[in-house]
Every structure is written in C-alpha cells, then in structure tokens.
Amino acid sequence: MSEASRSRGVDAREARSLPLRATLLSLAILVVLLGAWELATSGANKTRAGLPAPSQVAAYAVGELAHPFYDNGPNDKGIGIQLAFSIARVLSGYAIAALLAIPLGFLMGMSPLWQRALGPFIQVLKPISPLAWMPLALYTIRDSTLSSIFVIFICSIWPMLINTAFGVASVRRNLIDVARTHELSKWETAIRVILPAAAPTILTGMRISIGISWLVIVAAEMLVGGTGIGYTVWNEWNNLNLNSVIFSIGMIGLIGVAFDQVLARAIRAVQYVD
C-alpha cells in the first residue's frame, strides 16, 4: 500500500472518530467545570462564593422536573407551564414574521426595483433594539402577551427577510433559463425552481431568527412580568432563590439548543450537492 493510501486511510478513520472524540472532550470539560464550581461553593468557600453548589441545583432540578406542571397561583407555577407560555409567545411572533418575511423576501430577491425601494426601510429599522419597541407596544396594544408577541415579530423578521432576498437573488441564472425554456410561469418558477435552490439560505435566516427570538422573549418577560421563563428568573431572583434562577437559566439554554437543532436538521435536509 502506498504512503498516500495509508494517509487517506488514517484521515478517514480520524474523520469517523471525530464526533466521539469531540463528545468525550466536551464531557471532560463539563466535569472539570462542575468540579471547580462544586469546590468553590462547598465547605469553607461556601459563604465567600454566595452561589449554591451544582449538587444543590441538581437536587432542586430533580424536584422541579418531577412535577413540572403544577399551578399554585400566579407566582407559583411549574417550570413546564412557564416554558410553555414563553414558547407559545415565541412561536406566535416567529410564525407571523415568517408569513410576512418569506413572501416579501421572494419579491425583493426577484425584483431589483423592490429591493432598492425597501432596502432603506430595512436598514433603518433593523438596528433598533427589539426591547425599544416594548413601551410603544404596551401603550398601543395594552396587553402584555400581545406586546411580547409583537416584539418577537419585530426582532425575528429581519434575518428571515434579508436571507430570503439574498437566497432568491443568488439562484443561478441557468436554472431560471431552464425554467423559461420549459415555459414555466413566474409562480411555477418560484415554487419549483427558486424555492428549492434558495431553501438552505432561507432556513439559515429562520435559524438565526429563532435564536434571537428566544433571547428577546426572556428579556421581554422580565419587563412585563406575569408568566414565562423570563418572569420566573426575575421573580426567583427577587425571592433570592438562586437554585431556581440557575435551574431556569439551564432550561433556557436547553430549549434554545432544541430550537436551533430543529432548524439545523431542516437545513441539512434541503441541502443538495451540485
């Protein structure tokens, strides 16, 4: 066997073992970090650190996850109920944004006129912090839940809109020419040719948007209160229940990962190799 063949074989084995090695390294880092945290918050260091140990947070988490949907009144609901409120708000605002952003992005991507006409509005509105809209939303809508949904809408629309317009505009001209050769209408061309070609870029924008939406809903719920995981974090901080605060932060991270992975898998499903 030649040196080049052996080298390719070694590279292939390393590529196959990469996910396992990365997982083991991640677990090792996690163990080190949790061990350092446990040492820093136990024994003589406990008073100085001020934070609960990981073992205390884990024990609290087990109790919460055993009964995640209890409801003992406005300020005492299970983590499952609070997450459900937040997820519902995020998905509502996100869905409304998608229904507007994707068709409008198609229009901009297929028409330079519309892209130039709408571009200045997007550039002005996109940098505005979503939470800056909250006082105006509360004043005009006069409902905290609908105001939160509006804030999610306004923060998630821009990545979807921009990525859709870019993806549609970047479709290769030879694909469009083939559609014209087969005398497809503009609608048929958009659905049968442009949409499949632009789908990875569109879904990338949707993936960015869902991450931003999940970030913003936590901050929005801290401001408006009532229900949701953001409100839970703030309320438990006011009660100095740091076990609950840390546990809620962990749940925020896990739900964010779940959202991201759903769209990451969707992107891989629609990708194609030339």
Residue 60 lies in a domain: no
Query: What integer pLDDT is reported at residue 177 of this predicted model?
Result: 66
Same domain, 34 and 167: no
Same domain, 39 and 130: no
Same domain, 234 and 142: yes
Residue 59 lies in a domain: no
Same domain, 31 and 142: no
Residue 120 lies in a domain: yes
Residue 77 lies in a domain: yes
Report d(CA 228, CA 137) in Å as an integer: 18
Query: What integer pLDDT is reported at residue 162 of this predicted model?
Result: 95
Same domain, 137 and 242: yes
Q: How many domains does the chain have?
A: 2
Query: What integer pLDDT is reported at residue 62 of this predicted model?
Result: 94
Same domain, 34 and 88: no
pLDDT tens track of the chain, all 274 residues? 555 555 555 566 777 788 888 999 999 999 999 999 988 887 655 555 578 899 999 999 999 999 999 888 877 889 999 999 999 999 999 999 999 999 999 999 988 899 999 999 999 999 998 889 998 998 998 888 899 999 999 999 999 999 999 998 888 777 776 767 776 777 777 777 888 888 999 999 999 999 999 999 998 998 887 889 999 999 999 888 999 999 999 999 999 999 999 999 999 988 864 4
Same domain, 111 and 215: yes
Residue 56 lies in a domain: no
Residue 183 lies in a domain: yes
**CA distances to 232, 242, 245, 270 from 50, in Å:** 20, 9, 13, 48
The pTM for the full model equals 0.86
Residue 132 lies in a domain: yes
Report d(CA 111, CA 125) in Å as an integer: 21
Same domain, 31 and 86: no
CATH number at residue 120: 1.10.3720.10
> Is 126 in a helix, a strand, or coil?
coil
Same domain, 39 and 155: no
Same domain, 23 and 122: no
Domain carrying residue 29: 3-51
Same domain, 154 and 31: no
**CA distances to 61, 73, 175, 215 from 255, in Å:** 15, 24, 39, 11
Report d(CA 131, CA 152) in Å as an integer: 9
| Sign of the CA dihedral with 153 first, then 158, 163, and 168 last | positive
Of 56, 81, 19, residue with least CA distance to 232:
81
Query: What integer pLDDT is reported at residue 261 of this predicted model?
Result: 95
Same domain, 217 and 88: yes
